[in-house]
Structure 1
């Protein structure tokens, strides 16, 4: 274990666009860290709501970067990073918040070769009531050298924006985030390429809250096909960035990398089933994707029962009549669509797997 100074400078960057109603809780959580050497940077991406008043009320307690033109997630990340000075950097979504011990716990877990720290988050609603944990506790974090996972399937078990922290040296190697490709989902880029530059350190406790609400980019459940297409295309952009970064250090990704990742295959199958006319991969077939998904599921870092159930789910979507397949897809991907009996079964299974 590498011991870094207790007073190491830390930057908490809060990208914001029209989340003024949540922003104060996010800023307060950054200012209330038990670690006493953290700068708080709010990047406002040309908001049109009450954000300006919220930011102004903090005066010199925070550093503010005001973008004149909305550029999206990546542009806000790049702007904030350029204005930061910390040796450790966190990107905190404006609708999320950290617990007071978050930075201190990150520093305690730090090792000399850490390229990324990841931790779990409580999922909360708009009223900050805890509903669940992300990632679910039954999904084990991948830690240490995750490069083999990335090169073989393009993914490993990690967290989202507000559950990640990076050393400045790693970010210097991989930023700026490509702004056109990652207008949304800039954290996906960072979590994909950062581990090529060191080890992933995992903290298995919740150090913050991931707020779910109707405006989340990732929460448009009523538009399942649109969500699936966006995630498939985002994956393709991630994998292209991974391939480019890997090539720079003499590594090569597997040629069929997308067909080894059950998360990618799940969204790809959903896109194909729900609206084949707009599906981004012309030669995909349900059966082929389902078979690949079943095989990939059995390689996951989780219990045998969970792997077998996911494999069975893939196969059922692949062989059932399309109308039934769509229902099975919806039941898994959108919890609110599940019949009551399935919700009870799902909760029972999660308790058993946990």
Structure 2
């Protein structure tokens, strides 16, 4: 059997309404030699029937029990021998030249290629770009950023592709710690085994709707605690893989990471009784977040606005801090006038 040049592993759970679009987009790639594997994580909707309709053109894998996103990714990776692999969420889709662009961006020493995606609504209509163009995607050797703050500028699962050589160093994904977020693990540890290459234009659509992680419930404090806990799992994985490479992670990487500090501050502001770090103080987190914002890979205007949000949420009274954070973290919570103003500010940022 001929080894495929590239594998697209589609991971599905109860996305019968979207998985056909994802499969069609994978099959429509202009680069020949693309293998398509569809892993269904024991869906309870009509997903199996949809996937079986493509059985002559894809490799369908039906897990016997639901194990979470990372279990499905591990299952899919075990079914391919392709040298380059990407994991496409079943509610997202790729543009026809996506794989060709990824292959063109690859060169010796690259472990991961990352690309922007169009942020689309439930019908597939383009609403924005993710990450926004004001945020520069990191490339090259990002290990120093991972060592110092546990993060670099990256994207989500459907905008990432990996070399098999690097994946073999880090797979399987720890399924219990990363059951909802395979990319949180892969994007953190894979770049310790090679460089990151970037595609600055969107290669597909990242769908925003009520059932995916980008809308992880309306409870801001609950979501923030989950993300803080998720970061703790990432730090543990980074610690292990840095150890394997003969290096060490910073003792407090989160205190230099604006993304982590934003969630940590939200947990503290909205639900201090259940905040996982009892020693945290709003002012200290606000100041650390402002400093981290100015060190970020963003335009000066965007850094200034982010830093200002941290200072407001860190030092102003709760009746001011809470809406400031809510409007930043949960777009649906913004008054229409604030949402309009935020959009205007976004367009003015350079």
TM-score (norm 2): 0.97
* Counterpart position of 1:302: 298
* Counterpart position of 2:286: 290
Structure 1 residue runs of 4 or more that deviate by more than 3 Å after TM superposition? none
Contact 2:4 2:35 in 1 (8 A): no
CA distance in 1, matches of 2:30, 2:242: 37
Structure 1 segment 152-191 matched on structure 2, within 5 A:
152-191=148-187
Residue 8 of structure 1: how far off its partner (Å): 6.2
1:47 is the counterpart of 2:36: no
Contact 2:70 2:173 in 1 (8 A): yes
1:137 is the counterpart of 2:133: yes
CA distance in 1, matches of 2:91, 2:291: 37
* Counterpart position of 1:195: 191
String of CA shifts for 1:191-235, please: whole Å, max 9, x gaps. 000000111000000000001111012303511111111110001
* Counterpart position of 1:12: 8
1:260 is the counterpart of 2:256: yes
* Secondary structure of residue in 2 paired with 1:61: coil
Residue 340 of structure 1: how far off its partner (Å): 2.7
* Counterpart position of 1:241: 237
Residue 59 of structure 1: how far off its partner (Å): 2.0
* Counterpart position of 1:120: 116
CA distance in 1, matches of 2:346, 2:217: 21
1:150 is the counterpart of 2:124: no
Count of aligned pairs: 348
CA distance in 1, matches of 2:52, 2:242: 42
Contact 1:115 1:198 in 2 (8 A): yes
String of CA shifts for 1:138-178, please: whole Å, max 9, x gaps. 10001101111100001111010000000100000010000
Q: Which of 52, 61, 77 is equivalent to 1:65?
A: 61
String of CA shifts for 1:316-338, please: whole Å, max 9, x gaps. 10111112211110011111222
CA distance in 1, matches of 2:310, 2:217: 20
Contact 2:112 2:197 in 1 (8 A): yes
Contact 2:115 2:155 in 1 (8 A): yes
1:229 is the counterpart of 2:228: no
Residue 244 of structure 1: how far off its partner (Å): 0.7
Residue 179 of structure 1: how far off its partner (Å): 0.5
* Secondary structure of residue in 1 paired with 2:204: strand
Residue 315 of structure 1: how far off its partner (Å): 0.8
CA distance in 1, matches of 2:214, 2:202: 20
> For structure 2, which runs of at least 5 residues remain unmatched after alignment?
none
CA distance in 1, matches of 2:120, 2:299: 26
> For structure 1, which runs of at least 5 residues remain unmatched after alignment?
1-6
* Counterpart position of 2:105: 109
